[in-house]
Chains A and B, each alone.
Chain A
Amino acid sequence: MGGVDVGGGGGGKRKSLDSEINMIPMIDLLMVTISFLLITAVWTHMARINADAQVPGPPRPDVEQEKTEPEKQLHIEMREEEKFVLVWKQGSTTVDSIDVPRKDVVTQEGAVEVVRFPDLADKVASEWKAKGQHSNPTDRKLDQAILHTDNKTEFKYIIGVIDAVYGTHRDIQLGPKTEKLPAFNITFAVN
């Protein structure tokens, strides 16, 4: 038995303030709690990677459309085996085109093959620093990246490229605080 002295006590006929905690049920309770938490614990952490399917809304003839200059978009071509092609386009005009040698870093983690493209991630980051249009923390709009892939590419390679693009972060002010969020929003090319 464990004793707990809660102070006081006093003299005479007053009841003692010292009380005892029974250790056996207490340890039992702790053990049962630990067992329950261990059994229900989740050891794999799932997450998500965002993509935006830019679907235009229905045409509204009653609203006059403002003529705005199209924004620069980064097109990422991953159709070729030996290189990526990064193309900055403004509307249908090609602004710049850069070849990035493709170096797949593939590691095996259990049953999953993790594919990474560190060279592509570095190049996308430097390209965004040079040509990105939305870098001000108060600007919540993101630069747009469009992924072009052939039909045969496996999903793990697509995720590898999306992960490399999302490796570029910038400060975005959300209310009173500033957070580091991906600089690009990615979507798939239809063709």
Chain B
Amino acid sequence: MAITAPTRRLMHHVGLEFVEKKIQGHGKRPLAAGLSLTSMIDFLVVTVVFLLMTFSASGETPVAKGLNMPKAENTLDMIDAPIVVVVGSQILVDGGPAGNTRPIEESDRMQRIDELFNLLKAKRELWKQTHPTKDFPGVVLLQIDQEVKAVIVKSVFQTAAFAGFPNVSFMVNNLPKSAAH
């Protein structure tokens, strides 16, 4: 194959006169545009670096469907702990059912939730068996809908405490401090 000098080749094979004129310019702006590779690669590299720095390999804590968590400013970072979800009238521990809030709502009285208590106690026993040399941290995360009544919050809180999880944390969405003022 013959060696030819570099030139514009885009759409040259079409063989139509008006296309030829269009791509060659002839007084108008040509259709074939040049792209500066250096700046494009710079941009791509910067984007990759930014996304890699903000990437979280640990994934995200799942939020139950239909649950709106409240927002707060003065928060702490998330930790790995069992999650108790209160959504609607259901109570879940790590995704599994652990009781119902209806009896508490009907009586309007703080009370121990037996199913939740037994599940959390079993989790505590299991942790102690698997980590015999370590102290039990006793941390539990409560993921509660913003509309849930205080009597349910207090009942879940106390049940968790009596089951051996005295370090209770409420999950919230982080509110940037600057947005608050």
Interface residues of A (CB under 8 A from B): 2, 23, 26-27, 30-31, 33-34, 37-38, 40-42, 44-55, 109, 111-116, 149-156, 158-160, 162-163, 166-167, 169, 182, 188, 190
Contact = CB atoms under 8 A, between A and B. Distances in A.
A159 B174 CA distance: 12
B60 A151 contact: no
Contact of B72 (A40, A44, A163): A163
| Secondary structure type dominating chain B contacts | mixed
Contacts of B168: 50-53
28 contacts: A34-B48, A37-B55, A42-B59, A45-B173, A45-B174, A47-B72, A47-B174, A48-B78, A52-B167, A53-B168, A55-B161, A112-B71, A112-B173, A151-B109, A151-B149, A154-B146, A154-B147, A154-B149, A155-B147, A159-B72, A159-B170, A159-B172, A160-B70, A162-B72, A162-B170, A166-B72, A167-B73, A188-B154
Interface stretch (B12-20, B37-45, B117-125, B128-136): B37-45
B100 to A, nearest CB: 17
A46 B173 contact: yes
Interface in B147-170: 147-151, 153-154, 157-158, 160-162, 165-170
Contacts of B178: none
Contacts of B78: 46-48
Nearest to B75: A47
| Number of chain B interface residues as a range | 35 or more
Contacts of B146: 112-113, 154-156, 159
Interface of B: 37, 40-41, 44-45, 47-48, 51-52, 54-56, 59-61, 63, 68-79, 108-110, 141, 144-151, 153-154, 157-158, 160-162, 165-175, 180
Contact of B48 (A30, A54, A156, A159): A30
Given A47-B171, A156-B147, A166-B72, 13 more contacts: A27-B40, A47-B172, A47-B173, A48-B75, A48-B141, A50-B76, A52-B167, A53-B166, A151-B110, A152-B151, A153-B149, A159-B71, A188-B154
Given A42-B60, A47-B77, A53-B161, A152 B149 contact: yes
Contacts of A46: 60-61, 63, 69, 78, 171-174
Given A47-B173, A48-B172, A156 B70 contact: yes
Given A151-B149, A154-B148, A115 B70 contact: yes
